[in-house]
Amino acid sequence: MIAIKNLTYSYDSSNPMAFPDWSLAAKEHCLILGNSGCGKTTLLHLLGGLLSPKSGEISLAGTQIEKLKGSSIDHFRSKHIGFIFQKAHLINALTVEENLYLAQYLAGIKKNKQRVSEVLESLDMIEKRKSKVYELSQGQAQRVTIARAVLNGPKVILADEPTSSLDDENTSRVIDTLLQQADLNGASLIIATHDQRLKEQIPNQFKL
Amino acid sequence: MNIFKLSWSYTKAKPLNTTLNITLFAFGIAIIIVLLLFSKQAEQKLNDNAEGIDLVIGAKGSPLQLILCNIFHVDFPTGNIPLKEAESIIKNRFVKNAIPLALGDSYRGYRIVGSTHEYTALYEVKVAQGALWSNELEATVGATAAKNLNLSIGDEFASQHGLSEDGYAHDEAAFTVVGILEPSNTVIDNLILTNVQSVWKVHESHDEEEEEHVEHDSTTHTVVESNLIPGVHLEEEETREVTSLLIQYRSPMAAVQFPRYVNANSNLQAASPAFETARLFSLIGIGIDVIRGFAYVIIFIAALSIFIALYNSLKERKYDLAIMRSMGGAKGKLFLSIIIEGAIITCMGCGVGLLLGHFTIEIINNFVPESDQSGITGKVLMVEEIWVLAASITLGVLASIIPAVGVFRTDVSRTLSQG
């Protein structure tokens, strides 16, 4: 499903970053662990096609994504990858459901009300569908970002430090939700984190 | 969800900012539209009213006043000229046609003009009801004047001396309305027309009673028919006067020689409507140019304000743009969404400004009677307005291009990893 081989990246020429070879089967979940600054986010962005590698191969769902250029990588990402960032980063000018319709529109998928309801239902957010994003609590906002990430049925969900600012109770609730949604949508869940609390729930780990 | 809805949501998300920008734009546009409607229509009116009149001859004074008084009927007369001199000057070979005007009286603010039927023919005005005047103290009333004074055929009214409403009333000689003219959109609409003799009669009624006796005693001289006023016999001791003559030339050559001839060889003054209206416009033009410049400054500030608003919101929207890029939004699409946002504000500003401009003219017409008399209306669209709108929309879109270019500079990965 996912495989990286001889992957390197450098923000500037003096400081190249090399990643060990690694692979993950479809529908399996994994933690990317490591201390701050060791390249967790960089790897996540490489996997998601937000950065392009200096050298090496990234294979995702049978596509060599390092070879995709320009808007084709954007298109691929919108169809196959769901991103969850540390902060919610929802579009404040839009309502909850409009944020989700936007995800469909930007991915070039026809507006599908039923799918939006279904996802919001599964995250217990259906009552908030007409709410403005800035009216939501932090936890509700995060659930909307999860809804947005899984909306288009991605093969992979990439989550960057989704729990770093949460207490124990909320952390386990968020991870449960993420796992549940990943399984529901048949996606692999990859979480980049330094949060040791997650190890219990996701035993499969990739250390940097 | 589509790109227009996305842009629209962003404009709605900041209602105060959007309102300010739309208002600024609308005001700039409205001022320009008002000036445009006003100056174009005024120019058109002036030209229509001066059409067919090559030269105005009257008493010495300001040439502009002569034109304003005798063609547009706004200023006061420079004085009168002796009928005798008028008769002799129109014998000149350059003169094809001359129409006499006798001014001096009014009825409730509307001028009474003594002239010949050629005057209505000049403006091609038709009679709506009744007929043109034929005898003394018969009046044919212009369309606007008839409506506003509530005059109809058979009504009688006494003229007032002078051109203001508080003039001394000539109660002893009442005019009878014999006809109403059709609206012509010219100055005639605001006039009460009669023959020259009526104006004389109203003014000289006291003197004439004595003179008449003298006349009967000495009727030995030959009778000379007036060339200027049909039905008037010139007397040896001619003392009667007219206010002015509207002259049509026989040939274009006359424009060079005839005015100089009149000004040099008589106590009369000749003024060219074309020259004087051009001079008037160059005088008013300065004021109009200043206001127009001011309006362009407002539009420029509006564009600048849109630019700043988009530029600032783009800083706040850095994450929005990065997240939309991460969701597969192509750069071109997001670029376009910001341009559309600028265009929405600009177009709304233009629309509001267009309506505001036209309404302003109509409102002025309703509250200022003089403006209504001028016949300027807000119910017309002009080609120039399309140019103003097109230029403004272009400016608004240009103002949003620089912020929109920011889309191409967004480093998605760095922005999102920052937090």
Nearest one of B43, B1, B3, B42 to B330, comparing CA atoms: B3
Is pLDDT above 80 for B92?
yes
Measure the N-to-C terminal CA separation of chain A; round to a whole number of Å: 20
Contact B328 A106 (CB under 8 A): yes
How does pLDDT run across B226-278, given as a tens digit for each residue? Answer: 888 887 888 777 788 999 999 999 988 888 889 998 888 888 999 999 888 88
Could you give the 3-state DSSP secondary structure of residue A186?
Answer: coil
Cβ burial A133-144 (10 Å sphere, 16+ → b, else e): beebeeebbbbb
Residues of chain B contacting residue A86, judged by C-beta atoms under 8 Å apart = 419
Cβ burial A77-101 (10 Å sphere, 16+ → b, else e): bbbbbbbbbbbbbbbbbbbbbbbbb
Choose, out of B9, B417, B418, the residue to mutate when testing the contact with A (most A CBs < 10 Å): B417
Q: Do A152 and A78 touch, CB atoms closer than 8 A?
A: yes
Q: Do B196 and B87 touch, CB atoms closer than 8 A?
A: no
Q: How far B301 CA lies from chain A's nearest CA (Å)?
A: 26
Interface predicted TM-score of the whole assembly (ipTM), two decimals = 0.88
Contact A98 B1 (CB under 8 A): yes
Concatenating the DSSP letter of every residue in B293-322 gives HHHHHHHHHHHHHHHHHHHHHHHHTHHHHH
How long, in residues, is chain A? 208
Q: Which residue of chain A has the CA closest to B318?
A: A89
DSSP A200: G
Contact B13 A79 (CB under 8 A): no
**Facing residues of B54 across strands?**
none
Confidence of residue B139 (pLDDT cuts 50, 70, 90): very high
The strand ranges marked E within B131-279 are 138-141, 156-161, 169-181, 191-194, 224-225, 233-234, 241-242, 244-249, 268-271
- Indicate left, alpha or beta for B113 from its phi (over 0: left) and psi (-120 to 50: alpha): beta
How does pLDDT run across B144-190, given as a tens digit for each residue? Answer: 899 889 999 999 998 888 877 777 777 777 899 999 999 988 889 98
Best mean pLDDT range from A168-177, B331-340, B359-368: B331-340
* Residue range B296-310: mean pLDDT, rounded: 86
